Amino acid sequence: MKDSWKEYKEKREAKNYFRQNNDQFLSSEQWIKTILACLVGALLLGIVHGAVTMGIGIDFSILYIVIGYAIANIATSVSGVSSPQVAIVSAIMTFLTFLISRLTISVYIYSALGFSLKIIIQLIPMALTSMFQSGILDLIFIVVGVFVAYQQAQ
């Protein structure tokens, strides 16, 4: 019994040592920082992209790739790690950025028409469907932008 306890203790110490010295494992605090930083970046980039699109009247699809790269850069610089887990967070936040961009456009249009901003929650499904109904080229660039975010953070 003492041998099995000693072996279990050695395995646990080896596992803890590996996790402390391997940057693939993030602590809960690092995950929270990474997700919050990506969320703030997604909000800012989404609002800016939506405002630029509304201001110019043209949606530059190449910006989807730039946004994917920017979100991946935020995720890897805050976490200090390039891993599949960080890549998944980066891809999800990039998609969220695109959704926020479409939501910004919808909010701008509805507020210009005189509707109250209380309907923002009701606009989320409409913004989501508008992402997929805007055309095949936009959809391709959305997928490529999410893929770029995943690849850059991996």
Q: What is the pLDDT of residue 37?
A: 94
Query: Quick one: what percent of the chain has pLDDT higher than 70?
Result: 92
Whether the per-residue pLDDT at 105 is higher than 90: the answer is no
**Res. 33 pLDDT band, cuts 50 70 90:** very high
Per residue, the 3-state secondary structure of the chain, as one string, reads CHHHHHHHHHHHHHHHHHHHHCCCCCCHHHHHHHHHHHHHHHHHHHHHHHHHHHHHCCCCCHHHHHHHHHHHHHHHHHHCCCCHHHHHHHHHHHHHHHHHHHHHHHHHHHHHCCCCHHHHHHHHHHHHHHHHHCCHHHHHHHHHHHHHHHHHHC
